[in-house]
Amino acid sequence: MAQVLEFKLPDLGEGLTEAEIVRWLVQVGDVVAVDQPVVEVETAKAMVEVPCPYGGVVTARFGEEGTELPVGAPLLTVAVGPSAPGGDAGESSKGSGNVLVGYGTSEAPARRRRVRQTAAPAPAATVTPAPATGTPAAPDPGALDTPSTGDRPRADGPVPVISPLVRRLARENGLDLRALTGSGPDGLILRADVEQALRATVAAPTQMTAPQPSTAPAAPAAPAASTGPAAGTRVPLKGVRGAVADKLSRSRREIPDATCWVDADATELMRARTAMNAAGGSKISLLALLARICTAALARFPELNSTVDMEAREVVRLDRVHLGFAAQTERGLVVPVVRDAHARDAESLTAEFARLTEAARAGTLTPAELTGGTFTLNNYGVFGVDGSTPIINHPEAAMLGVGRIVPKPWVHEGELAVRQVVQLSFTFDHRVCDGGTAGGFLRYVADCVEQPAVLLRTL
């Protein structure tokens, strides 16, 4: 007899708590093999194809494309065993070889479910109308924070919410979750349900007091003064934008940062790059040369390649440089990471920057390629701006910002000349070092930009 196993959305790592279904790769009734990708999801960090750890026949799918599911919510069910419709004895319920958090390679028994031949459509979210006064009913704090087992609640039971983000969103907007019917499995309330309810509340017409009749002559109509809050459009902080907001907010809360900057004459660096590229072979990017300068500077000032452990009250100096670089994409700002940048030459750095940039634009970066950085290089000069005050990429300790390189009047060898000038901005965590160390780092970087031969002496 066929056994039906339930595959839940696994923990995709790096603290991610939810993912949005982008595209189903299988249909109900399809035969899947162990470790075959069955769905493409988008997390706050990347697009990921999720493999199924079971082999058999897909009997049900949970969630339409565009639905956001919390980690642990059911994705699909698979009938395994020789009696499965369309299956064969070769498929088994053995654990997958891929180590998915919560699945691994063990043969732990999965939750049994009755076989469904078709996926039942999820009910649409409904909202109970608010009172006519326009004042939302005060939510019951106990009901909002009551954990749910995922079963459909009784009328006096807990609210079916798994995600703490959903509960917080409802609480911050004064929305009573008991007034919603979730569109997720077993009535689970998703973030999309809360957002739809909030949009419906904003769109609801506000009752206006009828004007009183007047016997006075009608005066020219004047624009009515607005007494309420300004109307606007709500844009959910989700996906990449939400991840950026969370990380930058945490950086500002936890890191006592300071910024210093200096103008540097980049004329000789630009000439050196032109000469390198004229010699044949692979082209060297300017970003790669700046990255090479950064890794040399971090070797001289290792305090800045570190992180702070406040619980242990220790500064952890890291022995390898994993260099992040800011990349603007259609999905928002992402920071891919070049592993072991300190061990790469300019040619290798150029190739890795190009590969990661292309993956960022295509939305195919993996969570591993977006995490683990120890220092970030931000070239905002590509946007045509001169300077900035970078926000440190938590939990790193520093970031170097590079503005545009433009011709400017400059005193060179005692005479006024037109030179290629760049502004360098350096933000650092004041807990790991004082201004003398930060100033020394920035001055060394500027010296390498102005006289690339300085870098050669340190190699």
CA distance 205 to 18: 33
- Give residues with Cβ within 8 angstroms of 427, minimum separation 6: 257, 258, 259, 389, 390, 391, 392, 398, 399, 401
The catalytic residues are 430
Does residue 273 contact residue 289 with C-beta atoms inside 8 Å? yes
Kindly list the distances between the CA atom of residue 125 and the CA atoms of 75, 192, 203, 372, 402, in Å, as whole numbers in the listed order. Answer: 19, 9, 16, 39, 48
Phi/psi for 250 (5° steps) reads -65, -40
Does residue 114 contact residue 4 with C-beta atoms inside 8 Å? yes
Kindly list the distances between the CA atom of residue 395 and the CA atoms of 185, 203, 290, 353, 373, in Å, as whole numbers in the listed order. Answer: 36, 41, 22, 22, 9
CA distance 55 to 87: 9
Q: At what angle do helices 435-450 and 267-278 cross, to 10 degrees?
A: 50
Is the alpha carbon torsion for 393, 396, 397, 402 positive or negative? negative
SS3 of 26-40: the string is CCCCCEECCCCEEEE
DSSP state of 339: T
Beta-carbon count within 10 A of 345 CB: 11
CA distance 384 to 397: 26
Q: Which of 36, 75, 74, 83 is nearest to 55 (CA)?
A: 36
